Amino acid sequence: MLYLPETALDNKKEINHKLKVSIIIPIRNEEKNILNLVKNLKSISYPFLEVIIVNDNSDDNSISLLEKYVNDNFSIIELPNNLYGKKAAIKYGLHNCSGDWIVLTDADTNFSDSWFNCIIKYFEKNDIILAPVLIDVNKLSMLNIFEYIEMLAMQGVSYASTKAGFPFIASGANMAIKKDIAIELYEKIDMSIISGDDVFILHEYLKSGKNKVVFVSDKDAIVYTRPNNNLKSFLKQRIRWISKVKYYKQPTALFFSFFIYFGHFIPFILLILAICCLVISKKLLLIIFLLKFLLDFLFMVSLKNKLNFPIKYIFYFPFVWIIYFVYISILPIISIFVNVNWKDRRFR
């Protein structure tokens, strides 16, 4: 039986012990991650907690592995056959849970024993809680290090933009929302777009004129997800992520997305022109690249304490930075013409 005991909570920030919290986890064919998921959930200590697993038509052994853990505060619900996708699973879970707050994560994540208590300390005075998602690097392959540093940069942008009052990036693997607000938002977003539940919920919320959003920059709030196994799966995932941008309607999100993109694309084009020996000052180009590198480097170093960035990885940063210029300049263009499958489903 999965037992979630009541224990003493962290006293650093006052917690409303009477709030009921529901963790909603959509799953589809996650049998390889189920035992680790249960282990993570068993580490959570909170008196008013329920865990809702929403099965999105899995055809492996995920549910049979989970069934022995079902009890009063741990349940599995089946997504109706006419519904599919992560958005639909979360929306269905929302209408079948009893929490005052909803915490969202994925079946393939790892988190510390303090993760949940760290998140709920920020419920008071906020409507949406954003928290970091990083790559769990088990082996130092160049692809995994690239993926780790890239993900760290994205979380850094999410932290900085939220801190500045302009949140526009979110990760559904680590966020929390007031239930009544979540239900309202899920009625408004486009359910036909399979992915993007996280950013579209945030953007829809910001359209209301509210901005009670906080990013928890605490190492205990980090959840870790596995890196991609190979370059093909990495690129497919990133194309799926980038493809969401064409559906953005929130002005701040559009502005920062294009600002970040052209901040890389323009120097990339200038470099191509210089290589082709067209009229361009190579000295000016060098100054632009050095300034860009210095700013990016300082930004990454600033994340050492905020997001628990191992300083040893900073030595890989120059190589990642060079590759990233090409990668981020070309991939968004590719995403316009290429559709990818996500868990055996065509992504729109």
Residue with structure tokens 């079946």? 107
Does any domain span residue 161?
yes
Report the domain count for the chain.
Answer: 1
Considering only residues 337 and 343, tell me which one the structure prediction assigns the higher pLDDT. 337
Determine the structural domain holding residue 247 and report its residue range.
21-266+289-337
- Quick one: tokens of 220? 């205990």
**C-alpha distances in angstroms, 195 versus 73, 161, 211?**
28, 22, 23
pLDDT in tens, 313-326: 888 999 999 999 89
pLDDT at position 346, please? Answer: 59
Does any domain span residue 226?
yes
Is 16's pLDDT higher than 60? no
Give the amino acid at 131: A
Say if residues 192 and 280 touch (Cβ distance below 8 Å).
no
Rounded CA-CA distance 85/193 in Å is 9
Is the overall model pTM greater than 0.85, yes or no? yes
CATH of the domain at 75: 3.90.550.10
Say if residues 162 and 130 touch (Cβ distance below 8 Å).
yes
Region 19-36: what's the mean pLDDT? 94
Rounded CA-CA distance 261/215 in Å is 23
Does any domain span residue 38?
yes
Is 196's pLDDT higher than 80? no
Does any domain span residue 284?
no
- Quick one: tokens of 229? 């196994």
Region 231-256: what's the mean pLDDT? 89
Region 148-152: what's the mean pLDDT? 94
